[in-house]
Chain A
């Protein structure tokens, strides 16, 4: 079905909606060339239409072991071409059918490069996929212009687990409380693989529960939306500081930034991809990392006891923080990758070491 992608600023892109229905969300782009299934199921993409800049999507189908959550969280897939005849020995279905089952719209035959450049120049912004059946283009434009911005949106409630659950690790020396703001399965897998026994808590769990005496440390997960719109979580994270070793990734890192007394700001078009260069300032070495974030910690806002440990090489933004005296560190990028390079995976071992050093 013919369709248009209409952005909030009124820009219109022509394409097709092969599944027959439209949708909306914040239009963002990721330059990761593979990994569409991991990306679409990543809860951090909640509320966002993901543009895959690589033109061929769906080649290897849908796999049981590539889900980052039980369902896709992105609100749409924007791409140049959707492959309907996947080919892989482990494939269990095709991308379009899988998205259709979950009522996630696809917009294809899109000039994704033109869209990407537009978002790069004008900034990420909300938009809608407007099909022939949805009415006149004018009506679509009017609707798009009325869409709310991502800034100020708290989305953790949508994607977090509802109830506490455990990921048992036999013989684990350490038990870690995981605050789930929309955690990726791969992060849980990596924490578990590091030898940790995990208890996962909903996003709005008070600090007191996370500081129960059975826990040796706390992990703060990734998640969607604006970290600035989560004052409750910021306050609870603040209460954790100084009590246990803490490791935060992405949203967790941003929440720590706030808890330390700093602020976050919205990046023009974010960092989304599997090729993002990060420099470890302590060793000088480069890690090629997976990233997916639209907000960043403002370095100037941080108090002196907080050290910037990692920096993005393209725009010098903060990629990692460490407390100078307390066992707390965080990363803006995704050491669990999925999809992306494993260069930063040692972060999980580093957390384990911190737990060992600060065993109470």
Chain B
């Protein structure tokens, strides 16, 4: 049966900004879905608020709406575009929730739009835990004991059934948000109350503990003929108790017998049918009691998920593409297997390698949050590695994390306090794998560790084998390394660098020894079928085998390598993947073969058909160099692009350049001129560009002297940072000393930079491209918050409204001068701070920046592609590129993960904390800002009372703020200082207590619903406790809390716009 003939246009719902629990895996799925639809000649309409994604590139859909994912917006778009159907299953929980909301409101019925992929009743059955549990009972499938509560009283009743520890999960939340494990009554009640608040249906599932059971996931697809296939099985190394998104996982499931696996497969089939998932991909989670092999069903997602992305990359089976085709009515056997071309999508992929996924955490960004893992997801990204043994894949994955580990052996050597071993094994944290390794190394037994962690013994024994190998390696010097041991070590995933550490010597010497013995990596293809059929698609990974049966087969064409951006983390996320993909496409369109290296399974860049050849490898020198060696063996390798993947490839550039690899685009000297503060300082001096006073210190003494010289407050940071890692503003000697004690521990070899902190300055972000002769300014964005808030955490507006024309011209002219002077070939990002009409250059990044995708969408120009073509030798003139022009007012908004880290003060500073961004597009600043706020989940109130508490520096703007608020009818309340000031400028204000002054205080009023909006700029250390409590409570109650005066003023304009109805526009009509 061919595809349905009644569907000619489809609206695809995206997943919005990157958040913990919902990251760029949905860029992968949405992009595949759009591709699958367009191949069928279907008109595609996309709604997604995330400008950093590749799917919102206007070339991917016929109509691209970067608008908030709300019912009102959806309604408007449906009315205008009149699609036949809406596809809600490729945009994560956000898309599914919006589709359900629209369905319940009767919107689809009213407009005659149908849902494809999953029907509302199936979504309900899969997502509503209560309904799902009942269904499992009917299907005769076991679930765990427990039930549903809608209040604390009901929860207490259930506790009698489950006992402690009890697992609490709120319904319909992202990534298990708000869930937890309670071991006592107090914990139980805290988690229940939080969960009830977070669940949109005020519903909680409370269950017996199955902590320590083995955890598995099956990725399943089903077509309209009820053909069901399991695409991939995944086993969690971290047993039940750690969210699967935070677990180290392996594919396929390794420790199951066939009968055990088939029981899960049969159950998954029954669940797909029972829930009634019509078409497409879903995942089902199981737990297995290792004591008696009892299997229970945990949950299912009736949509493409994070695990689907992982499963797609792990198998080569494009789940989202297939799911979309199935939603159009195709049957599995009518679709080709994209990798073999000759066989069909109707089969189950088989692997002849082992895949390991390790999540990437950023607890260092939230020092007050407990680095403990539980049922609520906390990781911000992940890496995947492919190898021919579990040990090899595990070590490759550890290296891919880019946390400085050479592999598992040697990671955190001497950095773990083994006296705290027991607690770190008992309570799972982000570094448990390393604790396990060092515990085994210290002589603890596998049995003992299994007792403490419940990690399946087999995995522990494999880790133990790596420990043993490390010991054997230590017995030899590099030149004496026996061939057999070296081969064994490489097969167990040891890098040359690791071996060098254990044998003494350098990785270069190990490589020399290896080459002398003829030990080279081979490249194998991921082909879905374990070699049974010929793979047409070069999706490759490196491994170690006897002989040279390599399937890389480099072509004889000219080619260029693009280095990817590795795992998502705060500071380096999907936007860099977007740049890599744009660059790859520009390279391919120029007639050059594009080869991509990356290790992030969530991305579009690692789709096997994005590049001509994909190497799924860690982004380390050895792995990258091996690929270069292999690809250089045939055809003309033009060089390597290091400017699209953020800081990751830039870190590799120096050594590649030193070893004679050609860097395409910006040369190494220019990278150093921009990155090295001393050299950059000289360039600025030469061009007479003002710079905030600064200095570099390598001791505390020196730092203090410099600080006094440039005057407090100063901004301190280690050099070579991304995302403001380790950056802080200090106000006095005491603060500086405290900072240096902590920062020195992070970066012992590198000096510290001190900059004068330009308080009250206006920050500007400049993105440009330079071909060595001419510069095109892609865009200048003005931060809405003042300098001091990390640029990644700031809302920003483009064009830079409110910035004086003369200042803007100066900034542009000086940016051009800088790019030419440094010798940039391709993209560069500059940050400026304007104080008293003078622009100061803060820093230059000779690479794609976080804002390039945003600016690309706002100007309708593919800047990464332009930069890639410059790298291949085309000038700006040849490309007919001029400065970017704003097509509308665009505001970049950001989202923060504070809700995932209970107790963390949601205040902004120079350290980046946001996970994702949104874009608001409008005719006016107010409209664009209002949309950005809504999209970021900060819906401003249209009426009510505003609580204002600002620091002295901000009091000058209080009058303007109060005027705007009162004219719109808002009531004002404030604490003593601010209230007094407001009264002196003539405003009526209700006085309320600070938290430590008496009651009812600000937090009481928040709880009582008497405050709808909080404007609170930090008052300094004395008020720390008070303000923290207010901000945390606002966050919990989802009351907008702005911590910056400029943002607050801008928000007044936004409220004004929100009161009239918003209009929507597609990028294609700008």
Interface residue? A66 (CB, 8 A) = yes
Q: Which residues of A contact B534 (CB under 8 A)?
A: 120
Interface membership of B461, Cβ < 8 A = yes
Instruction: Give Cα A285 to B273, complex, Å.
Output: 15
Which residue of B254, B344, B546 is within 8 Å of A109 (Cβ)? B546
The answer to whether A90 and B293 touch (CB under 8 A), given A54-B350, A63-B257, is yes
- Show 14 A/B contacts (Cβ-Cβ < 8 Å), sorted by A: A29-B532, A31-B529, A33-B351, A35-B258, A54-B252, A85-B461, A111-B547, A112-B352, A113-B545, A116-B532, A275-B349, A275-B529, A284-B225, A285-B227
Question: Is B332 an interface residue, CB under 8 A from the partner?
Answer: yes
Looking at the complex, which one of B290, B350, B388 makes contact with A89 (CB distance below 8 Å)? B290
Please indicate the chain B residues that have their CB under 8 angstroms from the CB of A86 in the complex: 458
State the Cβ distance, A78 to closest chain B Cβ, in Å: 13
> A158 interface residue, CB < 8 Å from B?
no
Q: Is the CB of B456 within 8 A of A87?
A: yes
Instruction: Across the interface, name the chain A residue whose C-beta is closest to B391.
Output: A81
Pairwise interchain contact B532-A56, C-beta atoms closer than 8 A = no
Instruction: List, in ascending order, chain A residues with CB within 8 A of B532's CB.
Output: 29, 31, 53, 116, 120, 269, 273
Known: A277-B344, A313-B346. A89 touches B291 (CB 8 A): yes
A164 to B350, CA, bound (A): 39
A60 to B352, CA, bound (A): 18
Residues of B near A54 (CB, < 8 A) are: 252, 350-352, 530
Q: Does B631 contact A (CB under 8 A)?
A: no
In the complex, A32 Cα to B265 Cα: how many Å?
15
Query: In the complex, which residues 96-136 of chain A have their Cβ closer than 8 Å to any Cβ of chain B?
Result: 109-114, 116-117, 120
When chains A and B are docked, how far (Å) is the Cα of A82 from the Cα of B545? 15
**CB distance B530 to A116 under 8 Å?**
yes
A contact residues around B332 at 8 Å (CB): 286
Q: Taking the complex as formed, is A80 at the interface, i.e. its CB lies under 8 A from any CB of chain B?
A: yes
> A10 in the interface, Cβ–Cβ < 8 Å?
no
User: Are A38 and B549 neighbours in the complex by a CB distance under 8 Å?
Assistant: no
CA–CA, A31 and B352, complex, Å: 8
Please determine whether B352 and A55 come into contact, CB atoms closer than 8 angstroms.
yes
The residues of B that contact A29 with a CB separation of less than 8 Å are 531-532
Is chain B's binding surface mostly helix, strand, loop or mixed? Answer: loop
Task: Spot the interface stretch: A235-243, A252-260, A334-342.
Answer: A334-342
Which among A14, A117, A275, A339 is the interface contact of B531 at CB below 8 angstroms?
Answer: A117
Does B389 lie within 8 Å of A80, measured CB to CB? yes
Is the Cβ of A288 less than 8 Å from the Cβ of B530? no
Q: Which residues of B contact A276 (CB under 8 A)?
A: 347
Whether B353 sits at the interface, judged by CB under 8 Å, is yes
Q: In the bound complex, how far is the Cα of B1 from the Cα of A152, in angstroms?
A: 42
| A33-B252 CB under 8 A given contacts A88-B257, A286-B227, A314-B343 | yes
Query: B809 an interface residue at 8 Å Cβ cutoff?
Result: no
Residues in A282-311 with C-beta less than 8 Å from chain B: 284-286, 288
Judge whether B229 is part of the interface by a CB distance below 8 angstroms: yes
Give complex CA distance A338, B256 in Å: 14
Q: Does A317 count as interface, using CB distance less than 8 angstroms? A: no
**B457 within 8 A of partner (CB):** yes
B507 to chain A, nearest CB (A): 25
- Chain A residues with a Cβ closer than 8 Å to the other chain, count: 55
Choose among A38, A286, A337 the residue with the greatest number of B CB atoms under 10 Å from its CB. Answer: A286
A88-B346 contact given A114-B545, A284-B225, CB 8 Å threshold: no
Q: Which of B258, B346, B545, B549 contacts A277 (CB 8 A)?
A: B346
On whether the beta carbons of B524 and A113 are closer than 8 Å, the reply is: yes
Query: B951: CB under 8 A from chain A?
Result: no
Q: A87-B461, A276-B347, A284-B225 are in contact. Are A342 and B353 (CB under 8 A)?
A: no
Interface residues of A in 313-354 (CB under 8 A from B): 313-314, 337-342
Taking a contact as CB atoms under 8 Å apart, the answer to whether B347 and A288 are in contact is yes
- Docked complex Cα distance between A307 and B343 (Å): 24
- The answer to whether A153 has its CB under 8 Å from any CB of chain B is no
Residues in B whose Cβ lies below 8 Å from that of A14: 546-547
Q: Are B389 and A55 in contact, CB atoms less than 8 angstroms apart?
A: yes
Q: Sort A-B residue pairs by CB-CB distance and give the 10 closest, nearest first.
A: A114-B549, A339-B258, A87-B458, A53-B530, A275-B348, A35-B258, A14-B546, A116-B531, A111-B545, A286-B227
Q: Which of A32, A116, A275, A337 has the most CB of B within 10 A?
A: A275
Chain B CB within 8 A of A74 CB: no
Contact with A along B502-522 (1 / 0, CB 8 A): 000000000000000000001
A76 at the A/B interface (Cβ < 8 Å)?
no
Q: Is A19 an interface residue, CB under 8 A from the partner?
A: no
Compute how far the CA of A288 lies from the CA of B352 in the bound complex, rounded to whole angstroms: 19
A85 CB contact (under 8 Å) in B331, B333, B458: B458
Kindly report which residue of chain A lies nearest to residue B388, judged by CB atoms. Answer: A55
Which residues on the B side are within 8 Å of A59 (C-beta)?
Answer: 254-255, 458
A169-B534 Cα distance, complex, nearest whole Å:
48
B258 near A38: Cβ-Cβ < 8 Å: yes
Verify if B354 is at the interface (C-beta below 8 Å from A): yes
Q: Measured between C-beta atoms, what is the minimum distance from A337 to chain B in Å?
A: 7
Q: Is the CB of B458 within 8 A of A338?
A: no
0/1 interface trace, chain A 7-31, chain B, CB 8 Å (1 if under): 0000001110000000000000101
In this complex, which of B252, B290, B547 has the most chain A Cβ atoms within 10 angstroms of its Cβ? B547
Residues on A with beta carbons closer than 8 Å to the beta carbon of B529: 31, 275
A192 CB within 8 Å of chain B:
no
Nearest residue, chain B, Cβ from A36: B258
Q: Of all chain A residues, which has the CB nearest B257?
A: A60
Residue of B nearest to A276 (CB): B347
Interchain CB contact under 8 A, B458 and A341: no
A279 interface residue (CB < 8 Å to B): yes
B270 to chain A, nearest CB (A): 11
Cβ B530 vs Cβ A113 within 8 A = yes
What would 13 more interface pairs be, CB under 8 Å, given A14-B546, A112-B352, A117-B549?
Answer: A14-B547, A31-B350, A31-B352, A31-B529, A31-B530, A31-B532, A54-B530, A55-B354, A86-B458, A88-B257, A113-B549, A285-B227, A337-B258
Residues of A close to B456: CB separation below 8 A: 87
B226, closest chain A residue (CB): A285
C-alpha gap A313/B227 in the complex (Å) = 14
- Any chain A CB within 8 A of the CB of B883? no
A267 vs chain B, min Cβ distance (A): 12
Question: Closest residue of chain A to B550, judged by CB?
Answer: A114
Write out the residue numbers on chain A whose beta carbons fall within 8 Å of the beta carbon of B351: 33, 54
Interchain CB contact under 8 A, B344 and A89? no
The 0/1 profile, CB within 8 Å of B marked 1, for residues 60-93 of chain A is: 1001001000000000000011010111111000
Q: B residues within 8 A CB of A13?
A: 546-547
> Are A314 and B344 touching (Cβ within 8 A)?
yes
Q: A155 on the interface (CB 8 Å rule)?
A: no
Q: Is the CB of A34 within 8 A of B343?
A: no
B804 within 8 Å of A by Cβ? Answer: no
Q: Are A81 and B389 in contact (CB under 8 A)?
A: yes
Complex: A102 Cα to B610 Cα, angstroms: 50
Q: Which residue of A lies closest to B461 (CB)?
A: A85
Q: Contact: B347 with A313, CB < 8 Å? A: yes
Is B389 a contact partner of A342 (Cβ separation < 8 A)?
no
Scan B239-263; emit 1 where CB is below 8 A from any A CB, else 0. 0000000000000101111110110
Known: A31-B530, A314-B343. A288 touches B348 (CB 8 A): yes
**Separation of A314 and B342 alpha carbons in the complex (Å):** 8
Residue of B nearest to A14 (CB): B546
* Distance in Å: Cβ of B834 to nearest Cβ of chain A: 59
Residues of chain B with a CB closer than 8 A to A90's CB: 257, 293
- From B522, which residue of chain A is reached at the shortest CB distance? A111
Nearest A residue to B340, CB-CB? A314
Query: Which partner residue on chain A sits nearest B527 by CB separation?
Result: A113
Nearest residue (CB) in B for A38 is B258
The reply to whether B388 and A80 contact each other, CB–CB distance below 8 Å, is yes
Instruction: Give bound CA distance, A337 to B266, whole Å.
Output: 13
Interface presence of B1025 (CB below 8 A) = no
Smallest Cβ distance from B351 to chain A, in angstroms? 7
Specify which chain B residues have a CB less than 8 angstroms from the CB of A269 in the assembled complex: 532
List the A side residues contacting B549 at CB < 8 Å.
Answer: 111, 113-114, 117
Residues facing A in B275-324 (CB within 8 A) are: 290-293
The reply to whether B262 and A60 contact each other, CB–CB distance below 8 Å, is no
With contact pairs A89-B290, A113-B531, A120-B531 given, residues A53 and B257 touching in the complex (Cβ less than 8 Å): no
